[in-house]
Amino acid sequence: MMDFLKSIEQLSISTWIREGGAIYGYALILFMHTIGLGLVAGITCMMNLRLLGLTSMPVKPLTKLYPLIWYGFYLNLITGVLLIMADASTKLMNWDFWVKMGLIAVGLVIQTMIQKKMLNEPSNEAIPTGVRGLAILSLVCWFGAILAGRLLAYVGPVAGLA
């Protein structure tokens, strides 16, 4: 297993990410990962605040934001895979990484459930039953994923990259 992870790290693309210089390699991918984080957690957070009744804006126009959340997720899927390839043998062996993956998986399921309920709701203002609970869970998942992701640099096997 370890040999396999090490061999991923030795791929030319992984080496390039690690050693490709400050501006273009690891650092730029990490920055794009941060933008993706902002899109997913930021937009879901704002929409969840609305679903929890903390402002009174109409709900229907906000459903137009769903694709943006998913673009953010796809951006982070790609950049995340690249970052992991550069540091496979430490990150994939870190329990905290799998906590993060679990939170993201649950977060995506919840997002899909919220979207389904909201898009089936004909009214401009009404919030379907059960959505409030999902909104709270969604906040827990995305902010938990940020916490777990950030702690990757501090817990588990000593990382090669921060």
Partner 1 sequence: MNLAHLHLLLNHFPTVGMIIGLGLFLAALLWNSDHLKRASLGVFLAIGLIAMPTYMTGNAAQEILAQHPSSAALHLTALIEAHQSWALLAFILISLNGLLAWTGLWQYRRHSRPAAWILPAVLVCSAASFGTMGIAANLGGDIMHPEVRDVADGRASWMISAFSQSVIKAAVTDSTKIWAACEAIHFMGLAILFGMVLLIDLRILGFLKGVSFESIHKLLPYAVAAYAVNLATGMTFFIAASDQYTGNPVFYWKVGLLLLASANLAYFTVMDDSWLLKAGENAPGRTKFAAVTALVLWIGVMYAGRMLPFIGNAF
Q: Residues of 120-149 as b/e, b for ≥16 C-beta within 10 angstroms?
A: ebeeeeebbeebeebbebbbebbebbeebb
Does the protein bind partner 1 through residue 26 (CB under 8 A)? yes
Q: Burial level of 51, CB count in 10 A (0-12/13-18/19+)? A: buried
Task: Report in angstroms how near the CB of residue 141 gets to partner 1 at its nearest.
Answer: 13
The region of 6-14, 32-40, 80-88, 106-114 touching partner 1 under the rule CB under 8 A is: 32-40
Does the protein bind partner 1 through residue 132 (CB under 8 A)? no
Q: Contact 75/83 with Cβ under 8 angstroms?
A: no
Q: Judged by CB under 8 A, which of 54, 67, 120, 129 binds partner 1?
A: 54
Q: Judged by CB under 8 A, which of 12, 55, 120, 129 binds partner 1?
A: 55
The CA-based angle 20-18-29, given to 5 degrees, is: 80
Does the protein bind partner 1 through residue 136 (CB under 8 A)? no
Q: Contact 86/8 with Cβ under 8 angstroms?
A: no
The region of 5-13, 55-63, 98-106, 107-115 touching partner 1 under the rule CB under 8 A is: 55-63
Task: Report in angstroms how near the CB of residue 28 gets to partner 1 at its nearest.
Answer: 9
Residue 40 carries which DSSP code?
I
Please give the Cα distance from 7 to 16 (Å, whole number).
14
**Footprint of partner 1 (CB under 8 A):** 22-23, 26-27, 30-31, 34-35, 37-39, 41-46, 49, 54-58, 60-62, 64-65, 68, 142-143, 146-147, 149-151, 153-154, 162
